[in-house]
Amino acid sequence: MKANLQSFFSGFLLLLALSLLVHTYSDEYEGMGIGAEFGPMFYPRILLWMWIGISGLLVVTSVVGKTKAPAAQKWGRLFGMFALVALCTLLLTQIGFLFSILLFSLSSSWFMGYRKPLGLVLSGIVFPVATWYLFHEILLIRLPVSPWFTWV
């Protein structure tokens, strides 16, 4: 991607994320909260702040320094990940959050080339279980449950 196009695209992503973040503070989301502490925009705001940070870094690097041209796109990987995300989304209602995220994390790690057992365990099992535990037990935000195991 040429430097001008990259800086324009990075700036567009930054402005888009900022506008979405501002929208999350809209009055229409008041009173829709899960509890007194957390509204429905709690997690999207976390993701949007990460998006803003990454796109801000992209803007800075495209303006300040010259970057190498990225390698050719690997369209098979891109569409494969889209398919895995779509499958995970469909499985959320069928087998619950924990099991669908475990399957997604393991299969996406494997699909992207992580073959070492320690890496697969950390990215495919420990991270999803820790995420589920954080939301389900600490933040008390209920996630989709499995029809077979209602405690998960």
The domain boundary, picked from 70, 97, 119, lies at 70
Do 84 and 44 share a domain, yes or no? no
The domain boundary, picked from 24, 45, 70, lies at 70
Q: What is the mean pLDDT of residues 84-108?
A: 86
pTM: 0.56
> What pLDDT score was predicted for residue 15?
92
Do 89 and 66 share a domain, yes or no? no
Tell me: pLDDT of 37 over 80.
no
Tell me: pLDDT of 28 over 80.
no
Do 82 and 145 share a domain, yes or no? yes
Do 18 and 64 share a domain, yes or no? yes
Judge whether 6 and 58 are in contact, CB under 8 Å.
yes
Q: What is the mean pLDDT of residues 110-117?
A: 81
Do 148 and 106 share a domain, yes or no? yes
CA distance 138 to 142: 11
Phi/psi of residue 151, nearest 5 degrees: -80, -15
Do 77 and 115 share a domain, yes or no? yes
Q: What is the mean pLDDT of residues 9-35?
A: 79
Phi/psi of residue 95, nearest 5 degrees: -120, 5
The domain boundary, picked from 42, 70, 98, lies at 70
The DSSP line for 79-122 is: HHHHHHHHHHHHHHHHHHHHHHHHHHHHHHHHHTT---HHHHHI
Number of independent structural domains in the chain: 2
Do 48 and 82 share a domain, yes or no? no
Write out the residue range of the structural domain in which residue 84 sits: 73-152
Do 97 and 148 share a domain, yes or no? yes
